[in-house]
Structure 1
Amino acid sequence: MRLLVVDFDYFFPVPQDPKDPLAPLFAWAHFETPYYLLEAWEERALAFLLRGLPLPGAQGWRGFWERFAFAKGAVLYYADSNALAFHPEVRQGVEEVVLFDAHHDAGYHPLGEVPACDDWMVFYHRLGARLRVYYPSWRDPSLEPEPKVPVAREVDSGGKLPGEFHRVFLCRSGAWVPPWADPDFFAFLEEAPLPRVALEPLGPRPLDLEALRRRAGEEALGLFIMESLRRPS
């Protein structure tokens, strides 16, 4: 049984060079809690809007599914957290995991007793599955710590992958991918040529971008007035 796992943060580029002038705007903490899934993104959006910069978005997801062949009866499971890639319905009979992700998810911290979003690949290794990670072209794998278990890792060169996949798991990774990219995520999900099964309730996250843009305009005006008052007459 061959499992294809796709983390939507694969399609959300972030600067890799710390000297990139935009890098500080992406210096985000990541935890899968309600705050980091939604509220944290308001301040992150404002950081771009106050500088007159466009919000970063998902890229390169259109046509992605065309790169794969799927076995008859294959099903796509989806959720927000990649930890659910080890859900009982997903892992049953899996002998090989092929992951498209900006992270190897093969352990970064001391391992817990249950799979988490950053170590679920370790649990597949314990079952004897072969593991492979394809990083997006924008990602520098050298920035990642070494996996805690053997994982074949390479930067994705594009093109079709040989062989068939018998099962697919897709996660949104809402702590890494902002709410304003949710429409792209759900469009990507709809493009998948497979029956789809939700492993947890998942819908677009409420984020009022127009209100944030108004707030950014008001704060920018306030800063302009303050600076004007400070200038010598």
Structure 2
Amino acid sequence: MGNNLLSIDWDYFISLDNKNCVSTIENKKTVNDLWYKRYFQFKSEGKDLQKRYQLSEEADKFWGKMKKIFEFDSHVHIFVSDSHALSYKIAQMYNCDNVYLFDAHSDLGYGGLPSLEFELNCANWLGKLLKNKKVKEAHIIYGPYTAEKPENFQQMNELYHIEYPTINDLDEKTKISAIHICRSGAWTPPWLDGKFIEFIRKIGFSYTMTECLKRNWDPTALTYADQLQYLMT
């Protein structure tokens, strides 16, 4: 049957205030600084940014479901990063034929087929895997809060083998060769990072973490000068 990659984006579980954002830029500014900027902008309007994001209860039950649907053991290779673009390299590394993606976004590329000509990034890695014939099939399982629909990617759906199943549609006991869990810090708020670490640990197996900036979220500890600095970024 070939090797299979299970790729999970943390934003699958989060109601995203910026769910329609498809920026491909991931750096300290978008992952950390802009969250403070948004927080203080909302605060100046008498609003609480943190109340605009909710974590689905599915996060607590997720690994139990995955271990019933998929087949993997303590020897499975597990990677954790901030950027989802790493899935492209992992799929190549383990010669994967299929990708099972749990995400609020398809990561097929935004802007039609021309977006697959852009450099590899968090928004097009899955589309580029298909275009470059690195994998044969993509199975995209959308999160409960997604704003996307399969018909948004009609051109790619016609060219490549792409399916959009629900969890209940998935075949049981599909063997998983590697797992990638990404935080997508530009889309997921830093005050949920503790829950993210809990989520990773609940898998019960060892993992390798790479390029995942630690975010210390504490806006109350910032001076007025700090607040102004963030607002000016």
Q: Same fold (TM over 0.5)?
A: yes
Please name the residue that 1:124 is paired with: 129
Query: Distance between the aligned counterparts of 1:98 and 1:41, measured in 2?
Result: 30
- The SS at the match of 2:201 is helix
Kindly indicate which of the two structures has a greater share of residues assigned to helix. Answer: 2
Deviates more, 1:186-195 or 1:53-62: 53-62
| Cα separation, partners in 2 of 1:47 and 1:162, compared to 1, 3 Å | farther
Render the CA deviation track for 1:195-220: whole Å, top value 9, x for unaligned: 2012x2325313322246x86xx9xx
Say whether the 8 Å CA contact 2:16–2:188 is kept in structure 1: no
User: Identity of counterpart residues, as a percentage?
Assistant: 23
Three-state SS of the structure 2 residue aligned to 1:146 is helix
Q: Where does 1:1-233 land on structure 2 (aligned, <5 Å)?
A: 1-14=3-16, 30=23, 31-50=25-44, 51-53=46-48, 55=50, 56-60=53-57, 61-69=59-67, 70-72=71-73, 73-88=75-90, 91-109=93-111, 110-112=115-117, 114-125=119-130, 126-142=133-149, 145-146=152-153, 148=156, 149-154=160-165, 156=166, 162-163=172-173, 164-198=175-209, 200-211=210-221
Distance 1:113 1:45, change over 3 A: closer
Cα deviation code 1:56-97 (max 9, x no counterpart): 243331121111233232121111000001125764221111
Distance in 1 between the 2:151 and 2:219 partners?
A: 32
Are the aligned partners of 2:5 and 2:91 in contact in 1 as well (CA < 8 Å)? no
Q: Residues 167 and 45 of structure 1: is their aligned pair in 2 closer, same or farther, counting only changes over 3 Å?
A: same
Tell me the secondary structure at the aligned position of residue 138 of structure 2: strand
Aligned residues of 1:68 and 1:165 also touching (Cα < 8 A) = no
Q: TM-score, normalised by structure 1?
A: 0.74
Q: Would the alpha carbon gap of residues 82 and 151 (structure 1) be closer, same or farther in structure 2, given more than 3 Å must change?
A: same
**Unmatched segments (≥5 aa) in structure 1:** 16-24, 219-233
* Counterpart secondary structure, 2:26: coil
Distance verdict in 2 for CA 1:144–1:160, change over 3 Å: closer
Paired residues of 1:77 and 1:90 also in contact (CA < 8 A): no
Where does structure 2 lack aligned partners over 5 or more consecutive residues? 228-233
Which structure is larger by alpha-carbon Rg, 1 or 2?
1
> In structure 2, how many angstroms separate the alpha carbons of the residues matched to 1:101 and 1:112?
22
